[in-house]
Amino acid sequence: MDDSNQTPVIDNAESFSFKAETKQLLNILIHSLYKEKDVFLRELLSNASDALNRFRFEMLTNQVVLDANTELCIRVSADKETRMLTIQDTGIGLNRSEMIENLGTIAQSGARKFLEVAKDQKGDFSQVIGQFGVGFYSVFMVAEWVKVTSHSFRPDDEPVTWYATGEDNYQIAPAVKAERGTIIEIKLKEDAAEFAEEYRLREIIRKHSDYISFPIYMGPAGMGTETTQINKQIAIWRTSKQDVMGDAYKDFYRQMTLDFEEPLLHVHSITDAPVQFYALLYVPKKAERAVFSIRKDDGLKLYCRNILIDEYNKDLLPEHLRFIQGVIDSEDLPLNVSRETIQSSALMARLKKALTNLLNKEFENLAKNDPDKYAIFWKEYGPFLKQGVAANQPDAEKIYPLLRFKTNLHPETWSSLEDYVGRMQPEQKNVYFILGEDPKSVLRSPHLDYFQAQGTEVLLLTEPIDSFMLMGLHKYKDFELQNVAQAGKLDNEKPRDPEAEKEKIAEADFDGLVKRFKAVLGERVADVHASTRLSQSVARLVEPEGALNPEMQRVYRYLGREYEDSKKILELNPSHPILKSLLKLDPESDLQKMVIEQIFDSAMLVEGLHPDPSSMVQRVQDLIQLALEKN
């Protein structure tokens, strides 16, 4: 080659014309498929790694090869003055026919197939890529011209050169190259001069190709020049667990995330069935991303054969596990032409299922073996798991054992559904729950009167996500979930205490009281009647039969969706002292009306339904004043 600032002159070159699709194909590759220009280097290093792997496989059965003892490696060098970038490998190499076949894929029928596939983003790109397939042509995003010189591993093959500018044709010519392998020389465009800077090349290699299983050196070979290895080469996730020493897991997590808090949990798995993969996954200590974290999005780092394919892959885990950080590496993933998107496939579905099951099992083991640590995990990530149940996915039941709840009988500790079932009363057929705004106020709900008196346990659901979770959690084992705020008879409802029965207001007097409530409240209630469950509270509101259940009403409210808000039934406690005193008041008195209004407003407030709580202030003040004047 002459002065590298000029177009190279190739002796005895034979020209080949690209087919008509070439310009269109190059345009797609250069401008459409790749989000960042630096991926060209990833493609070339991936091709070099493939060439080295193919040679290593060849050596298993064939010892008659060129340069059998040469180190298997990749070298990257650059000259920023001339904007030249060189990538060299000692892999399997190419002869003339292979050069035309592989680097000429773009001129064959495969290009037309690729265009058809790329047009509607469907189909299998993997056959188009090849060792030096379509991905190689991403180099023209940054190159004025590219020269590839290669010498095959076969001792009798002659070295050959391929040259192209990304236009309508390329050239093939004999070359002078004694060593096995391939050299790619790239004349960078002016606006791509950054890729001739050594610091930039190191940055890209460490990001995309740090764990290629062959050494990547910076600097040209020979001539006494000093070269340094850039990549780590040994991937910790491909290392057997017993060989990972000391703080290696923590160090890798810190390097990957820049999170200086230790992860709450790590999962290292090397699996061959039902799908082959290497996984190193982490649960960060905090759900909120660390301020200085270099991980700016959810998703896993996805590798294929130690090549980074996707920095933030969101398809390997369900949405509710998006907090997981880490690496997945598989030999078998089908890749699209840009290696930036993994094709939808049965293999990907199996991989996702296997990873989800792996994490569910690890969480179950953590809960069983270290409940205190699991409590920390649940505090941070419980809402994520509830979201997983809410999604109503086919595997939602696998999340049920991971759920934790506070209950009316155990308000300070976390209980699993299995714990609850183990403490159920004889003949109890349902799992009871109550929805509330916060853990303290819900314990004062009138809906709990009966259950507190009977010693029956009730799950306290006080997070916004709980109403959504109930859309996917209707039953645990053989036990239906039932809202204690719903009207109707309970499955194991016990009769009221005989002493409480003696304290009830006489039926005729109570009927008269009901009429007073109806007269004051009018159309604001669907009905007023006696309660069989209230013991400590004066009243409660329940839904009439056929109304939208309370949990769905909350879902609609959180989503800001309109729904028909049915009038509630006001249930009164026929034994409560307030109602007995109310009987003594003049039915037409202002005080009676004020008390009835306050009982109704208080019930609305407890349910979180009151449209304007501040409107009660004046009435409460008036009631206080009347009470003080009486004394």
pLDDT at 248 over 70: yes
Q: What angle do CA 284, 286, 290 make, to 5 degrees?
A: 85
What pLDDT is stored for residue 72 in this prediction?
95
Say if residue 45's pLDDT is above 80.
Answer: yes
Q: Does 174 score more than 70 pLDDT?
A: yes
Given a cut of 70, whether residue 453 has pLDDT beyond it is yes
Confidence class for position 495, pLDDT limits 50, 70, 90:
low
Q: What is the mean pLDDT of residues 374-402?
A: 92
What's the whole-number mean pLDDT along residues 574-579?
Answer: 94
What pLDDT shows up at residue 564? 65
pLDDT tens, residue by residue, 256-297: 888 889 999 999 999 998 889 999 999 999 998 876 677 888
Q: Say what the pLDDT of residue 112 is.
A: 52
Higher pLDDT, residue 523 or 2: 523
Band (pLDDT 50/70/90 cuts) for residue 592 is very high
Residues in Cβ contact with 373 at an 8 Å cutoff, skipping those fewer than 6 apart: 264, 265, 366
Handedness of CA 515, 521, 523, 527 (dihedral sign): negative
Question: What CA–CA distances, in Å, run from 275 to 202, 270, 330, 354?
Answer: 33, 10, 9, 8
Across the range 561-568, mean pLDDT stands at 74
CATH 3.40.50.2300 fits 498-630, yes or no: no
Q: What residues contact residue 300 under an 8 Å CB cut-off, 6+ apart?
A: 281, 312, 313, 316, 317, 324, 325, 326, 327, 328
Cβ(447)–Cβ(540) under 8 Å?
Answer: yes
Return d(Cα 298, Cα 285) in angstroms, integer. 15
DSSP-assigned letter for residue 149: E
CA nearest neighbour of 103 among 190, 170, 25: 170
pLDDT digits (tens, 9 = 90+) for 406-415: 999 999 999 9
pLDDT surpassing 70 at residue 182: yes
- What is the pLDDT confidence band of residue 338, given thresholds at 50, 70 and 90? very low
| Position 18 confidence tier, pLDDT thresholds 50, 70, 90 | low
Inform me whether the pLDDT recorded for 2 exceeds 60. Answer: no
Range with the lowest mean pLDDT among 224-238, 482-496, 529-543? 482-496
Q: What is the pLDDT of residue 26?
A: 67
Q: Count the neighbouring beta carbons within 10 Å of the beta carbon of residue 171.
A: 17
- Could you tell me which residues come within 8 angstroms of residue 282 by beta carbon, excluding any fewer than 6 positions away? 253, 257, 263, 265, 266, 267, 324, 325, 326
Q: What is the mean pLDDT of residues 408-434?
A: 94
Average pLDDT over residues 212-223: 81
Q: How many CA atoms lie within 13 A of 317 on its CB side?
A: 28
- 318 and 358 Cβ atoms separated by less than 8 Å: no
Which residues touch 614 (CB under 8 Å, ≥6 apart)?
A: none
Query: How much of the chain, in percent, has pLDDT values that exceed 90?
Result: 52
Burial of 362 (0-12, 13-18, 19+ CB in 10 A): middle
Rounded CA gap, 259 and 268, in Å? 19
pLDDT value at residue 131:
36
Q: What is the pLDDT of residue 108?
A: 47
User: Comparing 236-369 with 498-630, is the CATH topology the same?
Assistant: no
Classified by CATH at the fold level, domain 236-369 comes out as Ribosomal Protein S5; domain 2 (3.30.230)
Taking the C-alpha atoms of residue 520 and residue 169, their distance in angstroms, rounded to an integer, is 91
With a CB cutoff of 8 Å and minimum separation 6, the contacts of 356 are 317, 318, 321, 395, 398
For the chain, give the mean pLDDT.
85
Query: Contact, 514 vs 529, CB < 8 A?
Result: yes
What pLDDT score does 395 carry?
Answer: 82
Position 38 scores a pLDDT of 85
Q: Given a cut of 80, is residue 245 above it in pLDDT? A: yes
Better-predicted residue by pLDDT, 371 or 333: 371
Q: Are 579 and 408 in contact (CB under 8 A)?
A: no
pLDDT at 298 over 70: yes
Q: Give me the residue label for tokens 């002016």.
A: 190
Identify the pLDDT of residue 408. 95
Task: Annotate 47-114 with DSSP letters as a single string.
Answer: HHHHHHHHHHHHTTT----TTTTS---EEEEEETTTTEEEEEE-SS---HHHHHHHHTGGGSHHHHHH
In tens, the pLDDT along 346-380 reads: 788 889 999 999 999 999 999 999 999 999 999 99
- For residue 462, pLDDT over 60 is answered with yes
The domain segmentation of the chain, as residue ranges, is 14-229, 236-369, 498-630
Q: What is the CATH number of domain 14-229?
A: 3.30.565.10
Q: In this structure, are residues 98 and 104 in contact, taking their beta carbons and an 8 Å threshold?
A: no
Residues 103-136 pLDDT 10s: 765 544 444 555 555 555 444 333 333 334 467 8
In 3-state terms, the chain is what percent helix, strand and coil (to 5)?
A: 40, 20, 40
